[in-house]
Amino acid sequence: MRIHSAWAILVVVAAILAAGCRPQAAAPVQQTVPKPAVSAPAPTPAPASNLPLLTSESDVWNKVVAMAREEGRVTAYSFNLTGDVTKAATEAFQNRYGIKLEIVGGVGAVLAERIKTESNAKKYVADTFDTGVTAILPLKELGLLANMNDLPVLKEKDAWILPPVLDQADGAMLRTRLEYQTAVINTNLVRPGDEPKSFLDFLGPKWKGKKLATAPPRVSWPLVYLHVMLPEVFGDSYLRSLGKQEMLIVSTMRDESAAVAKGDAHAAVSTSIPTMVPLVKAGAPLKAVAMKEGTISSTPVVTVLKNSPHPNAARVFVNWWLSPEGQAVINKAQGAPNIRKDVADTSYDVTRFAPTKLLPLDEAALRTVARYVAEGKVDKLLDMDVK
Protein backbone atom coordinates (compact mmCIF):
# COMPACT_ATOMS: atom_id res chain seq x y z
CA MET A 1 0.00 0.00 0.00
CA ARG A 2 2.85 2.40 0.79
CA ILE A 3 4.47 1.68 -2.56
CA HIS A 4 1.23 2.37 -4.40
CA SER A 5 0.78 5.62 -2.44
CA ALA A 6 4.28 6.78 -3.36
CA TRP A 7 3.64 6.06 -7.01
CA ALA A 8 0.36 7.97 -6.81
CA ILE A 9 2.13 10.98 -5.34
CA LEU A 10 4.78 10.91 -8.07
CA VAL A 11 2.08 10.75 -10.78
CA VAL A 12 0.29 13.78 -9.34
CA VAL A 13 3.53 15.82 -9.11
CA ALA A 14 4.47 14.95 -12.71
CA ALA A 15 1.03 16.04 -13.91
CA ILE A 16 1.36 19.35 -12.10
CA LEU A 17 4.83 19.97 -13.58
CA ALA A 18 3.65 19.09 -17.11
CA ALA A 19 0.71 21.43 -16.81
CA GLY A 20 3.05 24.22 -15.74
CA CYS A 21 5.21 23.66 -18.81
CA ARG A 22 2.27 24.04 -21.24
CA PRO A 23 1.53 27.61 -22.56
CA GLN A 24 -1.47 29.24 -20.91
CA ALA A 25 -3.51 31.27 -23.45
CA ALA A 26 -5.66 32.94 -20.83
CA ALA A 27 -2.79 34.52 -18.96
CA PRO A 28 -0.89 37.11 -21.07
CA VAL A 29 2.66 37.89 -20.13
CA GLN A 30 2.97 41.15 -18.23
CA GLN A 31 6.05 43.21 -19.10
CA THR A 32 7.38 45.89 -16.87
CA VAL A 33 8.32 48.98 -18.89
CA PRO A 34 11.05 50.98 -17.21
CA LYS A 35 10.25 54.64 -16.63
CA PRO A 36 12.30 57.02 -18.74
CA ALA A 37 15.02 58.83 -16.94
CA VAL A 38 14.29 62.47 -16.15
CA SER A 39 16.48 64.73 -18.26
CA ALA A 40 16.86 68.42 -18.87
CA PRO A 41 14.50 69.99 -21.48
CA ALA A 42 15.78 69.73 -25.04
CA PRO A 43 17.24 73.00 -26.34
CA THR A 44 15.10 75.01 -28.74
CA PRO A 45 16.08 74.02 -32.31
CA ALA A 46 17.92 76.67 -34.27
CA PRO A 47 16.10 78.14 -37.28
CA ALA A 48 17.00 76.44 -40.53
CA SER A 49 18.24 79.75 -41.91
CA ASN A 50 21.05 79.71 -39.33
CA LEU A 51 22.32 76.31 -40.50
CA PRO A 52 25.23 76.11 -42.94
CA LEU A 53 24.49 75.87 -46.63
CA LEU A 54 24.10 72.37 -48.01
CA THR A 55 26.86 70.59 -49.82
CA SER A 56 26.14 67.89 -52.37
CA GLU A 57 26.21 65.14 -49.73
CA SER A 58 25.42 66.63 -46.34
CA ASP A 59 23.38 65.56 -43.35
CA VAL A 60 22.32 69.14 -42.67
CA TRP A 61 18.97 68.67 -44.41
CA ASN A 62 18.28 65.54 -42.38
CA LYS A 63 18.68 67.70 -39.27
CA VAL A 64 16.27 70.25 -40.71
CA VAL A 65 13.71 67.51 -41.36
CA ALA A 66 14.17 66.14 -37.85
CA MET A 67 13.59 69.57 -36.32
CA ALA A 68 10.61 70.08 -38.65
CA ARG A 69 9.02 66.90 -37.29
CA GLU A 70 9.56 68.21 -33.75
CA GLU A 71 7.78 71.44 -34.74
CA GLY A 72 5.01 69.26 -36.09
CA ARG A 73 3.05 71.69 -38.26
CA VAL A 74 3.07 74.31 -41.02
CA THR A 75 0.57 77.14 -41.42
CA ALA A 76 0.32 78.21 -45.07
CA TYR A 77 -1.42 81.46 -46.01
CA SER A 78 -2.46 80.62 -49.54
CA PHE A 79 -4.21 81.97 -52.61
CA ASN A 80 -3.47 78.81 -54.63
CA LEU A 81 -3.96 75.86 -52.26
CA THR A 82 -7.73 76.05 -52.09
CA GLY A 83 -10.68 73.85 -53.07
CA ASP A 84 -9.70 70.33 -54.13
CA VAL A 85 -6.02 71.26 -53.80
CA THR A 86 -6.31 71.66 -50.03
CA LYS A 87 -7.13 68.00 -49.39
CA ALA A 88 -4.60 66.70 -51.90
CA ALA A 89 -1.75 68.80 -50.50
CA THR A 90 -2.44 68.26 -46.80
CA GLU A 91 -2.80 64.48 -47.11
CA ALA A 92 0.25 63.96 -49.33
CA PHE A 93 2.56 66.18 -47.27
CA GLN A 94 1.48 64.67 -43.95
CA ASN A 95 1.87 61.15 -45.35
CA ARG A 96 5.37 61.98 -46.48
CA TYR A 97 6.69 63.73 -43.34
CA GLY A 98 4.16 63.25 -40.55
CA ILE A 99 3.87 67.05 -40.32
CA LYS A 100 0.44 68.69 -40.21
CA LEU A 101 -0.25 71.22 -42.97
CA GLU A 102 -2.88 73.84 -42.13
CA ILE A 103 -3.97 76.03 -45.04
CA VAL A 104 -5.54 79.45 -44.54
CA GLY A 105 -6.97 80.42 -47.93
CA GLY A 106 -7.82 83.89 -49.18
CA VAL A 107 -7.14 86.69 -51.67
CA GLY A 108 -3.43 87.44 -51.95
CA ALA A 109 -3.64 91.17 -51.18
CA VAL A 110 -5.85 90.54 -48.14
CA LEU A 111 -3.53 87.84 -46.78
CA ALA A 112 -0.54 90.13 -47.32
CA GLU A 113 -2.19 92.84 -45.20
CA ARG A 114 -2.92 90.24 -42.53
CA ILE A 115 0.75 89.24 -42.45
CA LYS A 116 1.80 92.88 -42.06
CA THR A 117 -0.68 93.39 -39.22
CA GLU A 118 0.52 90.26 -37.41
CA SER A 119 4.13 91.31 -37.90
CA ASN A 120 3.52 94.77 -36.45
CA ALA A 121 1.86 93.16 -33.42
CA LYS A 122 4.67 90.55 -33.20
CA LYS A 123 2.02 87.82 -33.22
CA TYR A 124 3.37 85.58 -35.96
CA VAL A 125 1.01 82.96 -37.40
CA ALA A 126 1.95 82.28 -41.03
CA ASP A 127 4.89 80.08 -41.93
CA THR A 128 4.55 80.31 -45.72
CA PHE A 129 2.66 82.54 -48.14
CA ASP A 130 1.84 81.83 -51.78
CA THR A 131 0.11 84.12 -54.27
CA GLY A 132 0.93 86.39 -57.21
CA VAL A 133 4.23 88.26 -57.10
CA THR A 134 2.77 91.75 -56.85
CA ALA A 135 1.08 90.92 -53.52
CA ILE A 136 4.31 89.54 -52.07
CA LEU A 137 6.66 92.30 -53.21
CA PRO A 138 5.52 94.79 -50.49
CA LEU A 139 6.35 92.16 -47.83
CA LYS A 140 9.78 91.72 -49.35
CA GLU A 141 10.39 95.46 -49.19
CA LEU A 142 9.53 95.36 -45.47
CA GLY A 143 12.12 92.63 -44.91
CA LEU A 144 9.56 89.99 -43.92
CA LEU A 145 10.72 87.19 -46.26
CA ALA A 146 13.36 84.53 -45.56
CA ASN A 147 16.10 83.39 -47.94
CA MET A 148 15.53 79.92 -49.42
CA ASN A 149 18.57 79.50 -51.65
CA ASP A 150 19.82 76.58 -49.54
CA LEU A 151 16.85 74.26 -50.21
CA PRO A 152 18.08 70.90 -51.57
CA VAL A 153 15.57 70.91 -54.43
CA LEU A 154 17.24 74.01 -55.88
CA LYS A 155 20.42 72.03 -56.49
CA GLU A 156 18.65 70.16 -59.30
CA LYS A 157 19.92 72.57 -61.93
CA ASP A 158 18.62 70.74 -65.00
CA ALA A 159 15.19 69.76 -63.68
CA TRP A 160 13.32 72.94 -64.53
CA ILE A 161 11.21 74.29 -67.37
CA LEU A 162 11.73 77.69 -65.77
CA PRO A 163 14.26 78.43 -63.00
CA PRO A 164 12.36 78.12 -59.71
CA VAL A 165 14.05 81.10 -58.05
CA LEU A 166 12.35 84.27 -59.24
CA ASP A 167 14.63 86.71 -57.40
CA GLN A 168 18.10 85.28 -57.83
CA ALA A 169 19.80 87.85 -55.58
CA ASP A 170 18.07 86.88 -52.34
CA GLY A 171 16.04 83.73 -53.09
CA ALA A 172 12.94 84.85 -51.23
CA MET A 173 10.36 83.93 -53.91
CA LEU A 174 10.10 80.55 -55.63
CA ARG A 175 7.89 79.76 -58.62
CA THR A 176 5.32 77.02 -57.99
CA ARG A 177 3.65 76.51 -61.40
CA LEU A 178 3.18 77.99 -64.87
CA GLU A 179 0.27 79.91 -66.30
CA TYR A 180 0.41 80.41 -70.04
CA GLN A 181 -1.07 83.50 -71.65
CA THR A 182 -1.53 83.81 -75.39
CA ALA A 183 -4.05 84.55 -78.16
CA VAL A 184 -7.31 82.55 -78.27
CA ILE A 185 -9.52 82.27 -81.36
CA ASN A 186 -12.99 80.98 -82.24
CA THR A 187 -12.37 78.18 -84.74
CA ASN A 188 -15.85 78.58 -86.28
CA LEU A 189 -15.12 82.21 -87.12
CA VAL A 190 -11.39 82.12 -87.93
CA ARG A 191 -10.31 79.79 -90.73
CA PRO A 192 -7.00 77.91 -90.41
CA GLY A 193 -5.33 80.08 -93.04
CA ASP A 194 -6.40 83.24 -91.21
CA GLU A 195 -5.06 82.29 -87.79
CA PRO A 196 -2.77 84.94 -86.30
CA LYS A 197 0.90 84.02 -86.15
CA SER A 198 2.08 87.18 -84.39
CA PHE A 199 0.51 89.64 -81.97
CA LEU A 200 1.27 92.23 -84.66
CA ASP A 201 -1.21 90.50 -86.99
CA PHE A 202 -4.09 91.89 -84.93
CA LEU A 203 -3.26 95.36 -86.29
CA GLY A 204 -4.09 94.24 -89.87
CA PRO A 205 -7.25 95.38 -91.68
CA LYS A 206 -8.84 91.91 -91.71
CA TRP A 207 -9.14 92.04 -87.91
CA LYS A 208 -10.77 95.46 -87.75
CA GLY A 209 -14.40 95.17 -86.78
CA LYS A 210 -14.01 91.46 -86.04
CA LYS A 211 -14.04 92.31 -82.35
CA LEU A 212 -10.95 91.49 -80.30
CA ALA A 213 -12.03 90.72 -76.77
CA THR A 214 -10.07 92.23 -73.92
CA ALA A 215 -10.68 93.22 -70.34
CA PRO A 216 -9.30 96.42 -68.86
CA PRO A 217 -5.58 95.91 -68.20
CA ARG A 218 -6.17 96.72 -64.54
CA VAL A 219 -7.95 93.37 -64.23
CA SER A 220 -6.45 91.50 -67.20
CA TRP A 221 -2.70 91.81 -67.39
CA PRO A 222 -1.48 89.90 -70.49
CA LEU A 223 -1.34 93.04 -72.64
CA VAL A 224 0.58 94.82 -69.89
CA TYR A 225 3.01 91.90 -69.77
CA LEU A 226 3.60 92.16 -73.53
CA HIS A 227 4.13 95.90 -73.24
CA VAL A 228 6.72 95.44 -70.50
CA MET A 229 8.48 92.32 -71.83
CA LEU A 230 8.80 93.40 -75.47
CA PRO A 231 8.55 97.20 -75.46
CA GLU A 232 10.39 97.49 -78.79
CA VAL A 233 7.56 95.53 -80.47
CA PHE A 234 4.54 96.28 -78.28
CA GLY A 235 5.29 99.83 -77.26
CA ASP A 236 2.97 102.80 -77.03
CA SER A 237 2.26 102.94 -80.79
CA TYR A 238 1.21 99.28 -80.88
CA LEU A 239 -1.31 99.73 -78.07
CA ARG A 240 -2.72 102.94 -79.61
CA SER A 241 -3.20 101.13 -82.94
CA LEU A 242 -4.75 98.10 -81.23
CA GLY A 243 -7.23 100.35 -79.47
CA LYS A 244 -8.55 101.50 -82.85
CA GLN A 245 -9.48 97.97 -83.95
CA GLU A 246 -13.02 98.21 -82.49
CA MET A 247 -12.26 96.01 -79.51
CA LEU A 248 -14.90 94.34 -77.36
CA ILE A 249 -14.34 95.40 -73.75
CA VAL A 250 -15.42 92.80 -71.18
CA SER A 251 -15.23 92.79 -67.40
CA THR A 252 -12.65 90.14 -66.51
CA MET A 253 -10.06 87.85 -68.08
CA ARG A 254 -12.48 84.93 -67.73
CA ASP A 255 -15.01 86.89 -69.79
CA GLU A 256 -12.50 87.20 -72.64
CA SER A 257 -12.55 83.45 -73.33
CA ALA A 258 -16.33 83.33 -72.80
CA ALA A 259 -16.92 86.11 -75.34
CA VAL A 260 -14.81 84.32 -77.95
CA ALA A 261 -16.56 81.00 -77.20
CA LYS A 262 -19.98 82.58 -77.78
CA GLY A 263 -18.88 84.23 -81.03
CA ASP A 264 -19.20 87.77 -79.66
CA ALA A 265 -15.54 88.19 -80.62
CA HIS A 266 -13.34 86.41 -83.14
CA ALA A 267 -10.35 86.36 -80.82
CA ALA A 268 -8.83 87.49 -77.55
CA VAL A 269 -5.48 89.13 -78.20
CA SER A 270 -3.86 87.60 -75.13
CA THR A 271 -5.53 85.88 -72.21
CA SER A 272 -4.91 83.21 -69.59
CA ILE A 273 -5.34 79.71 -71.01
CA PRO A 274 -6.80 78.22 -67.79
CA THR A 275 -9.87 80.42 -68.36
CA MET A 276 -10.64 78.55 -71.60
CA VAL A 277 -10.06 74.99 -70.31
CA PRO A 278 -13.57 74.44 -68.83
CA LEU A 279 -15.14 75.96 -71.95
CA VAL A 280 -13.24 73.61 -74.24
CA LYS A 281 -14.27 70.66 -72.07
CA ALA A 282 -17.87 71.78 -72.58
CA GLY A 283 -17.39 71.77 -76.36
CA ALA A 284 -16.65 75.44 -77.10
CA PRO A 285 -14.89 76.12 -80.46
CA LEU A 286 -11.78 77.64 -78.89
CA LYS A 287 -8.11 77.31 -79.80
CA ALA A 288 -5.03 78.78 -78.13
CA VAL A 289 -2.45 79.94 -80.68
CA ALA A 290 1.30 79.99 -80.03
CA MET A 291 2.63 83.32 -81.33
CA LYS A 292 6.08 83.77 -82.79
CA GLU A 293 7.06 86.36 -80.18
CA GLY A 294 6.54 83.76 -77.46
CA THR A 295 4.11 82.83 -74.71
CA ILE A 296 3.95 84.79 -71.48
CA SER A 297 4.59 82.49 -68.51
CA SER A 298 3.08 84.09 -65.45
CA THR A 299 4.05 82.26 -62.29
CA PRO A 300 2.59 82.37 -58.77
CA VAL A 301 5.27 82.15 -56.08
CA VAL A 302 5.71 80.86 -52.54
CA THR A 303 7.83 82.30 -49.76
CA VAL A 304 8.78 81.49 -46.17
CA LEU A 305 8.11 84.28 -43.67
CA LYS A 306 11.21 85.44 -41.81
CA ASN A 307 9.49 85.18 -38.41
CA SER A 308 7.86 81.85 -39.17
CA PRO A 309 6.76 80.04 -35.95
CA HIS A 310 7.82 76.74 -37.56
CA PRO A 311 10.84 77.71 -39.69
CA ASN A 312 12.13 74.21 -40.36
CA ALA A 313 8.73 72.71 -41.18
CA ALA A 314 8.06 75.69 -43.48
CA ARG A 315 11.22 75.01 -45.46
CA VAL A 316 10.50 71.29 -45.64
CA PHE A 317 7.04 72.10 -47.03
CA VAL A 318 8.34 74.49 -49.71
CA ASN A 319 11.08 72.04 -50.67
CA TRP A 320 8.42 69.30 -51.00
CA TRP A 321 6.15 71.55 -53.10
CA LEU A 322 8.93 71.95 -55.67
CA SER A 323 9.87 68.26 -55.56
CA PRO A 324 8.51 65.81 -58.17
CA GLU A 325 5.92 64.53 -55.69
CA GLY A 326 4.75 67.99 -54.65
CA GLN A 327 4.53 69.24 -58.22
CA ALA A 328 2.61 66.17 -59.32
CA VAL A 329 0.15 66.25 -56.41
CA ILE A 330 -0.57 69.98 -56.23
CA ASN A 331 -0.44 70.94 -59.89
CA LYS A 332 -2.55 67.96 -60.94
CA ALA A 333 -5.20 69.05 -58.42
CA GLN A 334 -4.94 72.65 -59.68
CA GLY A 335 -5.01 71.68 -63.33
CA ALA A 336 -1.91 73.81 -63.86
CA PRO A 337 1.39 73.12 -65.67
CA ASN A 338 4.44 72.07 -63.65
CA ILE A 339 7.74 73.90 -63.65
CA ARG A 340 9.65 70.59 -63.63
CA LYS A 341 10.72 68.66 -66.73
CA ASP A 342 10.57 65.30 -64.97
CA VAL A 343 6.88 65.42 -63.98
CA ALA A 344 4.25 64.37 -66.52
CA ASP A 345 1.98 67.31 -67.30
CA THR A 346 -1.56 66.77 -68.58
CA SER A 347 -3.02 70.10 -67.46
CA TYR A 348 -3.42 71.57 -70.95
CA ASP A 349 -4.10 68.35 -72.85
CA VAL A 350 -7.69 69.39 -73.48
CA THR A 351 -6.54 72.57 -75.27
CA ARG A 352 -3.69 70.87 -77.14
CA PHE A 353 -1.56 73.93 -76.51
CA ALA A 354 2.21 73.70 -76.36
CA PRO A 355 4.25 76.92 -76.27
CA THR A 356 7.25 77.02 -78.57
CA LYS A 357 8.97 79.82 -76.67
CA LEU A 358 8.44 81.12 -73.15
CA LEU A 359 8.71 84.72 -72.02
CA PRO A 360 9.42 84.40 -68.28
CA LEU A 361 8.67 87.40 -66.11
CA ASP A 362 11.43 88.35 -63.68
CA GLU A 363 11.11 90.49 -60.56
CA ALA A 364 12.11 93.71 -62.32
CA ALA A 365 9.51 93.17 -65.06
CA LEU A 366 6.81 92.40 -62.51
CA ARG A 367 7.57 95.58 -60.58
CA THR A 368 7.14 97.55 -63.80
CA VAL A 369 3.91 95.69 -64.59
CA ALA A 370 2.53 96.52 -61.14
CA ARG A 371 3.40 100.18 -61.59
CA TYR A 372 1.79 100.38 -65.05
CA VAL A 373 -1.37 98.69 -63.73
CA ALA A 374 -1.56 101.11 -60.78
CA GLU A 375 -1.10 104.09 -63.12
CA GLY A 376 -3.54 102.78 -65.73
CA LYS A 377 -0.92 103.43 -68.40
CA VAL A 378 -1.98 100.70 -70.82
CA ASP A 379 -5.66 101.53 -70.34
CA LYS A 380 -4.98 105.05 -71.52
CA LEU A 381 -2.94 103.90 -74.54
CA LEU A 382 -5.82 101.62 -75.58
CA ASP A 383 -8.17 104.57 -75.10
CA MET A 384 -10.15 102.74 -72.42
CA ASP A 385 -12.05 105.05 -70.11
CA VAL A 386 -11.45 102.98 -66.98
CA LYS A 387 -11.87 104.52 -63.54
197 and 167 fall within a common domain: no
Amino acid residing at 58:
S
Query: Residue 99 to residues 83, 136, 152, 315: CA-CA distances in angstroms?
Result: 21, 25, 19, 12
**What is the pLDDT confidence band of residue 41, given thresholds at 50, 70 and 90?**
very low
159 and 304 fall within a common domain: yes
Query: Does 15 reside within a domain?
Result: no
Overall number of domains in the chain = 2
Q: Write out pLDDT tens, residues 274-320.
A: 889 889 989 999 999 999 999 988 889 999 999 999 999 999 999 99
Say yes or no to pLDDT of 336 above 90: no
**50 CB neighbour count, 10 Å cutoff:** 8
- What is the per-residue pLDDT for 46? 39
- What is the per-residue pLDDT for 16? 38
306 and 171 fall within a common domain: yes
SS3 content of the chain, % helix, strand, coil (to 5): 40, 15, 45
101 and 146 fall within a common domain: yes
* E strands, 66-215, in order: 73-78, 100-105, 128-131, 174-175, 179-186, 212-214
139 and 65 fall within a common domain: yes
- What is the per-residue pLDDT for 386? 52
285 and 187 fall within a common domain: yes
237 and 363 fall within a common domain: yes
250 and 303 fall within a common domain: no
- Residue that wins the pLDDT comparison between 52 and 324: 324
Contact 350, 274 (CB under 8 A): no
Following DSSP, what letter does each residue of 26-76 receive, concatenated? TSPPP-PPPPPPP-PPPPPPPPGGGSPPP-TT-SHHHHHHHHHHHH-EEEE
* Averaged confidence pLDDT in the chain: 84
320 and 174 fall within a common domain: yes
H or E stretch including 301?
strand 301-304
Say yes or no to pLDDT of 212 above 90: yes
**What is the pLDDT confidence band of residue 231, given thresholds at 50, 70 and 90?**
very high
Query: Does 347 reside within a domain?
Result: no
Query: Does 43 reside within a domain?
Result: no
**Of the candidates 370, 371, 366, which has an alpha carbon nearest to the alpha carbon of residue 166?**
366
- What is the per-residue pLDDT for 168? 84
114 and 214 fall within a common domain: no
pTM: 0.75
Query: Does 132 reside within a domain?
Result: yes
Q: Write out pLDDT tens, residues 182-203.
A: 999 999 999 998 999 999 999 9
What letter does residue 207 receive in the DSSP assignment? Answer: G
Say yes or no to pLDDT of 13 above 50: no
Distance, in Å, from the CA atom of 14 to the CA atom of 26, rounded to the nearest integer, reads 22
Say yes or no to pLDDT of 337 above 90: no
**What's the domain range around 207?**
179-298+355-381
Query: Does 349 reside within a domain?
Result: no
195 and 263 fall within a common domain: yes
CA atoms within 13 A on the CB side of 13: 6
167 and 184 fall within a common domain: no
Instruction: Give whichever of 41-45, 52-56, 221-225 has the largest mean pLDDT.
Output: 221-225
Query: Does 211 reside within a domain?
Result: yes
Say yes or no to pLDDT of 25 above 50: no
Looking up residue 131, the CATH number of its domain turns out to be: 3.40.190.10
Query: Does 148 reside within a domain?
Result: yes
Query: Does 341 reside within a domain?
Result: no
